[in-house]
Amino acid sequence: MSENIPTYEAAVIGSGISGMYVTYRLRELGVDFRVFEAGSDVGGTWYWCRYPGARFDSESWSYGYFFDKELLQEWDWKEHFSPQPDTLEHLYLVADKHDLRRDITFNANVAAAEFDDEANQWTVTFEDGSRVRATLLISCLGVLSAPTLPDIPGRDDFQGQAFHTARWPHEPVLFEGKRVGVIGTGATAIQAIPEIAKTAEHLTVFQRHPNWAAPLHNSKTTPEEQKDIKARYEEIYARCWETAGCFIHTPDPRSALDVTPEEREAFWEKLYSEPGFGIWIGNYRDILTDERANALATEYMTRKIRERIDDPEIAEKLIPKNHGFGLRRLPLESGYFEAYNRSNVRLVDLLEAPIEGITAKGVRTTVEEHELDILVYATGFDGVTGGYDNIDIRGPGGRRLRDDWKDDLPKTFLGVINDGFPNLLMVLGPHTSRGNIPRHIEKIVDFNIGIIRHMRENGYSRIEVRPEEAEKWLAQVKDVNEGRLAGKIASWQTGVNANVPGRQTIRVLGYYGGAVRYREQAEQVAAEGYKELLFR
């Protein structure tokens, strides 16, 4: 007897911000589909990353979905930079309002997906061995869905509690009276450390390389501000679409080199005292492209760290030496540097004393053993391609996506469909534009939905990219990456992860030609009938 496998027009992986919006749009289009989510509810990043201090560092009111105008008026962002619990509450409200959960299967971990070249159909296999089939496979994996633990011996030996920040428990973790250790000093740790320090008996921060960080200046939204935000949503949306990353901030047209030192200082002091990403992406136009301009900004930020840290030796350890200011995704902080002025916080410099291993009692460096009750791994993600690499995705003839992306750059069209992998559509795949994520997601999902509508209207069951168009897109991706100083710096954004074998080489993984240029090209492709794609 043949196996009775549920079969759909589309199977969707993930119900984060992308997957939720895909659910809404597929249903609207009348597609027979099912969403499969590893977690027990919707929310993606905001479902998984429940660590203390987790919050937006783009303005809340520029971040939420804009597709539901009614909801924009119904929902109050309580803070200008929303904390994770409020954001998740917002996403649950979206799910409730649109009854999204009825199309989603939760606790479903996709292990593999294989394309049947004759039937034009994907077979998706879950970790529990169950399977579904679908003509289209739509990946909504996000860019940070594959958390990585440090490659340190003895991790299983630790007798206390241990958590990765992206797999944080749903119950509160209490730090009172506890000796806590945090490994990592990226954006996540920079949010978590000041919060943990408030209640832990003692906090030890294990730092390999420091990162730049600037003050968030978060505040509660007043009733007057709520009213004003709601009245200005059209304007806020339009503003987002005027900027390179869809944030509200845009670079100052002047060069840092063309103004006097006094003018520079005054401008930087102003940006440093303002909320949000202004100091990073509202700065002089050349601080991220010109080495000399970047060196000036780096010198300013170095001074700010020294000003905020009481002990000059600790300040020196917290100043990044391996990259200039802003050349990695800038973390915004609320009292991060001041946390090191507390008597219950100790910074351990792993460049001086590397970790030898995790023991039953804590962390042992080459110098001493640090006894801990709770160990927090703020050690990041296998960025952009990691979520895909974790699934055994096989196209026609058994070709594995993982192998295609092993040493070579992904060859996609608009980051939406990969060469040689028919009927696999991606939202936030490699080589889509980056920045304020929901703004990009809405456009990319709409583009994907347009493709699906075109297939349905014409009775097509197969779509793939013309290989020469994927080559052209890759050439453009490389071209617009030229001149970006950040393109030469190792980080999750350039695909580097010290804990993942084979991921030590810098790659271009985003489209950095700007959101507007990306959107215009996508809209033109749709308007001209998708001639870059092959339909059958």
Residue 18 or 418 with smaller CB distance to ligand NA7: 18
Residue 137 or 152 with smaller CB distance to ligand NA7: 152
In the complex, least distance from residue 286 CB atom to ligand NA7, rounded to whole angstroms = 23
In the complex, least distance from residue 373 CB atom to ligand NA7, rounded to whole angstroms = 20
* Burial class of residue 505 (count of CB atoms within 10 Å of its CB; 0-12, 13-18, 19+): exposed
Which is nearest to 186 in space by CA: 66, 74, 330?
A: 330
Contact 360, 157 (CB under 8 A): yes
Whole-angstrom CA distances from 389 to 19, 414, 510 are 19, 20, 17
Residue 24 or 206 with smaller CB distance to ligand NA7: 206
Rounded-to-10 torsion of CA 504, 510, 513, 519: 170
Q: Say how many CA atoms lie within 13 Å of 534 toward its Cβ.
A: 12
Residue 280 or 492 with smaller CB distance to ligand NA7: 492
In the complex, least distance from residue 146 CB atom to ligand NA7, rounded to whole angstroms = 11
The secondary structure of residue 202, as a DSSP letter, is E
Contacts of 291 (CB under 8 A, 6+ apart): 324, 485
Residue 151 or 352 with smaller CB distance to ligand NA7: 151
In the complex, least distance from residue 186 CB atom to ligand NA7, rounded to whole angstroms = 2
Query: Terminus-to-terminus CA distance in the chain, angstroms?
Result: 31
SS (H, E, C) 63-119: HCCCCCHHHHHHCCCCECCCEHHHHHHHHHHHHHHCCHHHHEECCCCEEEEEEECCC
Residue 73 or 499 with smaller CB distance to ligand NA7: 499
Residue 268 or 381 with smaller CB distance to ligand NA7: 381
In the complex, least distance from residue 210 CB atom to ligand NA7, rounded to whole angstroms = 8
Contact 198, 191 (CB under 8 A): no
In the complex, least distance from residue 386 CB atom to ligand NA7, rounded to whole angstroms = 11
Instruction: Output the residue with the shortest Cβ distance to ligand NA7.
Output: 186
- Binding residues for ligand NA7, rule: CB under 6 A, are 144, 150-152, 183-189, 206, 208-209, 329, 350, 355, 378-381, 492, 498-499
In the complex, least distance from residue 187 CB atom to ligand NA7, rounded to whole angstroms = 4
Residue 46 or 381 with smaller CB distance to ligand NA7: 381
Provide the strand spans (E) within 255-407: 332-333, 345-349, 355-358, 362-365, 369-371, 374-377, 392-394
Q: What size, in residues, is the chain?
A: 536
SS3 220: strand
Query: CA torsion sign, 165 to 167 to 170 to 173?
Result: negative
In the complex, least distance from residue 440 CB atom to ligand NA7, rounded to whole angstroms = 13
